Structure 1
């Protein structure tokens, strides 16, 4: 209801998209016949009885027209659910001018000279305008009437003629054309969050393609169709897809709103996409589909493509050449390392115990020699754990030096290498690690052994690998286990020295080269090192560093390994077993000492009990202690004989 409560409002239009109603408004005025005498006045107001409606604070404003006029606006805020009642509200503005020609020009903003404007407060359902009583009008002679109107912002445009004459503004303005905007919202609270709350409060946004937005004008919410949809969000299926492509065909306005210049518009749910034709840029929705490049640029690109093609072809030729070179190189290494000789021997003797592997098979088995595959490192090279194509676990030794470093044919050294490969592959003893194959396609031939899973004797005794590649917890080792390992190792060395098809010198006997299987049975590994390698002076020094404490003094002086070298090294392993000390150990004062020297000195003084492992008798039954002591004396005597310079 507007103005007089008996006057019904006329709805000008309704906008679901904005959640607004536009109604006809009213004018409040007062006219004067002298400076202080008024003869006609009409107060007015807006009284909204529908709870969902509020006077829009962002879309309306109070406009006062006159010279030296004070227009007032008052009302009451709608009571909020949390405060129990609404507070009173009042505002207004004042205009000033000395005459019609002293006001701002026609069309000027209402800044106080002839007219003024102020915004209104939110959360209003009742608002009225009026002028103060006993107000004098010093400009009544040329401006007899003052006007106050609540109307849509931007509707009024100032004209000087509105000041002149009695009710000049009212007579010129059709009262039914003054728009006032009301906000519409669901007033039972803000947007519900949970499904339970939506069901309890009869959630109004019914369309699946709608969105809920909290009202900025008092408590409540409104429903809007999602972007790309239009219609009534308060109905199921009320929000329908906007066909942007169809709109583009209707007017230039929509062509600018939904750009797809020189492209093919394809409507999609809630949006559209612009597919550019071949030869144009694929960005039709932003800048339109444009030709990619002019002819000059196309020529340049064509030349560039040709250049790239030539470069790529050159690279492929280089890669092919390098690949062919690599194949030839592998074939040359295979020939130089005695591969053809080995094949002949295998065919003529029908030897099937050794397998010749390619370098690609070795790389695949070791994950390209990954550090994660390293089992150990020593003076001769690095040992990797590998998995062959038949899923068999193997140990692959990659030596540091080639058989023949001078790049020549190899001669007798190659023949010797092939002979040793054949001899070693025929070794079949339960306490000797078997040689399964070799790789000859590299500068450094690689040997493939059976994999023994339970680490080395060094790890068992000292709790870690000598090269630091693996760690093992130090655990008690019984006398019986030590004697078993010693006996099995001696049996293996005796087999190599005398029982094989031809005598084989180990050359590197030490606890690191005695492996243990799942049953803690000993398997001697890395045998035949001296026969398979001819060492120069620098290599011999490196070899000595790798076997420090195990190499007999005579071999060190003569730089020559013999069967006595293996015997001496085995004696050091025996002492290592009964003392559980390393071949070169720390005596506690920071000094490094030779275990063999310490043992021989203690034996000479008759004080072997001082160097024996204190835990060696743990687990020995009381009635077997005497026997164990006798056995230890015999082992110590045997070790002393092995270490004796007289042999």
Structure 2
């Protein structure tokens, strides 16, 4: 009986070991298949031919370690396109790891091309793509981590961000540098890159309150099917270009419209969809401001902090006019992002001179560097 027992144990152990090896082999094969179908081989070839050395290809195991197996405590945000986690790589760099919900099979080649293009972006006000993971059912992108939250939180507050005064020159700095980043995407790269989801929640702030444009959620999509468009609309209510709403096509002027809404947020500190103080009904910030502007009553909507600054009123009026120009109903009537950035640069310099706070030279140097980068 003892001999039989030992034999049984050996057989069971061998069977378990064999099952485990088969499972691992199946898992490896599955990962290889995911890597191929997500364009991993194509990406390697492209990276070699274009000598791209700025993007690291990570394994699923490395991503799981970095995110503590996608621990809920590491979630930075959740949007229409997926979850974003805070991660730590093996070199102790903190990163933002974006796990998409789904990618259309028809878009996989475009996705690889997008990684190559994003890897070549080098602008101090754009969040850098550091790596990707392709041996997983849905590709994962790894970006630099920006430490100080979003512009949305800075303007409107959150559990982690209390409302604090924001001087006009800081608002103009954030607007100018964000505009320069978008202008760079539209005109200074190998092809026009559309952001497709411009909003204050997608503009991050670093420790020095420099903005970094993030989350190119729809940048690869020129046109969308019904389900993709509904997903986009849900995430961009209050920011979406009326022309895109009708045509389901994004253009560079769609980004200009959305940026016009961000300018209004900076001026009013109201959300893109805000609750009316009297009726508590939800209102569109862009619609309300345009109505008030054409009745010459828009100053009533401004944040009291800048509305009460008589010396800044010339700059504020020009800023309001620029925002209204960005919100033109027809895309062809809107300025380009390059024109927006140039006009904001002028307003920022005027305000810095008027403020006379000793930072004038620094502000102009920063602006000049941004313009050169853009």
Counterpart in the other structure of 1:440: 134
Deviations along 1:541-597, one digit per CA (max 9) or x if unpaired, are 122111111111111122221111101100000001101011111113231111111
| 2-structure distance, mates of 1:600, 1:385 | 39
Q: Is contact 1:403-1:445 (8 Å) kept?
A: no
Equivalent runs, 1:399-410 vs 2, <5 Å? 399-404=100-105
Counterpart of 1:369 in structure 2 is 70
- Cα distance in structure 1, aligned partners of 2:102 and 2:270: 31
Q: TM-score, normalised by structure 2?
A: 0.84
Which of 304, 325, 344 is matched with 1:614 structurally?
304
Which whole-Å deviations, capped at 9, do the CAs of 1:29-69 have from their partners, x for residues lacking one?
xxxxxxxxxxxxxxxxxxxxxxxxxxxxxxxxxxxxxxxxx
Q: Does 1:477 align with 2:161?
A: no
More helix by share: 2
1:420 matched to 2:121: no
Unaligned runs of 5+ in 2: 334-374
Counterpart CA distance in 1 for 2:120 and 2:217 is 13
User: Aligned ranges for residues 268-417 of structure 1 at < 5 Å?
Assistant: 299=1, 303=4, 306-404=7-105, 413-417=107-111
How far apart are the structure 2 equivalents of 1:494 and 1:616?
Answer: 27
Contact residue 585 and residue 594 of structure 1 kept, 8 A:
yes
Structure 2 residue 127 is matched with structure 1 residue 460? no
Q: Distance in 2 between matches of 1:533 and 1:606?
A: 37
> Of the two, which has the highest radius of gyration?
1
Show the 5 A alignment for 1:58-457.
Answer: 299=1, 303=4, 306-404=7-105, 413-457=107-151
- Uncovered stretches (5+) of structure 1, i.e. residues with no partner: 1-298, 405-409, 465-469
- Corresponding residue number in structure 2 for 1:602: 292
Q: 5 Å matches for 1:18-29?
A: none
The answer (yes or no) to whether the contact 2:81–2:217 under 8 Å persists in 1 is no
Counterpart mapping for 1:448-597 below 5 A: 448-464=142-158, 471-527=160-216, 529-531=218-220, 535-588=224-277, 589-597=279-287
Structure of higher RCO (CA pairs closer than 8 Å, 6+ residues apart): 2
Cα distance 1:344–1:553, how it changes in 2: closer, same or farther (>3 A)? same
Tell me, in whole angstroms, the C-alpha distance in 2 between the residues paired with 1:456 and 1:304: 65
Helix, strand or coil at the partner of 1:638: helix
Query: Is 2:325 the counterpart of 1:641?
Result: yes
Q: Deviations over 1:223-273 (max 9, x none)?
A: xxxxxxxxxxxxxxxxxxxxxxxxxxxxxxxxxxxxxxxxxxxxxxxxxxx
User: Hey, what's the Cα distance between the residues in 2 that align with 1:639 and 1:313?
Assistant: 72
SS at match of 2:90: coil
Q: Confirm or deny: 8 A CA contact 1:571 1:640 kept in the other structure.
A: yes
- Whether the aligned pair in 2 keeps the contact of 1:505 and 1:528 (CA below 8 Å) is no
1:178-228, Cα deviation, whole Å (9 max, x unpaired): xxxxxxxxxxxxxxxxxxxxxxxxxxxxxxxxxxxxxxxxxxxxxxxxxxx
Between structures 1 and 2, the one with greater strand share = 1
Assess, with a 3 A threshold, how the Cα gap between structure 1 residues 389 and 568 changes in structure 2: closer, same or farther.
Answer: same
8 Å CA contact 2:239–2:261 kept in 1: the answer is yes
Q: How many residues align?
A: 330
For 1:614 and 1:514, locate their aligned partners in 2 and report how far apart those are by CA, in whole Å: 23
Q: Structure 1 residues 334 and 532 mapped into 2: Cα distance closer, same or farther (>3 Å)? A: farther
Aligned residues of 2:221 and 2:250 also touching (Cα < 8 A):
no
Query: In the superposition, relative to structure 1, how do residues 594 and 343 fare at CA in structure 2: closer, same or farther (>3 Å)?
Result: same
* TM-score of the two chains, using structure 1 as the length reference: 0.49
Q: How large is the Cα RMSD of the aligned pairs?
A: 1.9
Superposition deviation, residue 417 in structure 1: 1.9
CA shift, 1:369, in A, is 0.8
Structure 2 SS opposite 1:530: coil
Say whether the 8 Å CA contact 1:354–1:425 is kept in structure 2: yes
